[in-house]
Amino acid sequence: MPRYALTIAYDGTDFHGWQKQHPPDSEPLRTVQGLVEAAVEELVRQPVHVLGASRTDSGVHAEGQVASFESPKPLDPTVLPAALTSRLPSDVQVRSAQEVDLRFNPIGDATSKGYRYRLAYARATADSRPLFDRHYTSWCPGELDLEGMQRAARDLVGEHDFAALTRVRHGRESTVREIFDCTVVEEEDRRLRIDVSGNGFLWNMVRIIAGTLVGVGEGRIEPDSIPDILASLDRQRAGRTMPPEGLCLMWIRFGAPGAGQERQRLAAARRREEEAD
């Protein structure tokens, strides 16, 4: 069966995140995966499983989510985006589609991801708080030290244990990740964006990074304290978890099909060796 990869954009405001959720004794929650899967099934007239590269949380948006599925019949990638988008609600769009190698795994083969956090800040006045873009821009009712935030952001770059910048019950075996770039840019007066890219992210990690940088901007956290916070592995040393509406998954890049499975195999072998020692 051929396999296809989709690039999907969505407004996460009215979704319970990407991943399908069916609580006991109740109706399934509204999720992006559930709706995209239903659209594909309507098109091919058979059950399918749509696998997404990133499990975005409730309220988080995406411009470049990537998902794949196997089709029981060949499909034309040039018409697939329009065919699926026509079967989806107005807050989800399939932006592009392509046929991919049968070994392609959107989770395991992802080599880097980029997120953007949008924030407005100022003394609370009638017109400074986001209104028409309030579902896509977070709000901080005070002034921020942009230069201090930029200094702190640079110390997040590199491979670190990010246990201090994720939820306490994160559910991951390892909290070591590599941040390739982290920048704070003022796009317009009292409107800024935080761009973060890396080889992978933990639960709420980008929102906590944003909250820690905002803490620096507010003067609650010293700009030069990021290395100490990371070394502490203590979630309480970092900043707050920022609201989801400011966060957007911008893009995902991939390596060779099947490379993710090989990385997982080598990592498992290394863990067995360490346990044996």
Instruction: Give the active site residues.
Output: 57
The residue length of the chain stands at 277
Is 79 in contact with 96 (CB distance < 8 Å)?
Answer: no
Neighbours of 44 (CB within 10 A): 16
Cα-to-chain-centroid distance, residue 266: 25
Neighbours of 140 (CB within 10 A): 19
Q: Which residues contact 79 (CB under 8 A, 6 or more apart)?
A: none
The C-alpha R_g of the chain, in whole angstroms, comes to 20
Q: What are the DSSP calls for 11-50, one per residue?
A: -GGGSS-SS----TTSPPP--HHHHHHHHHHHHHTS----
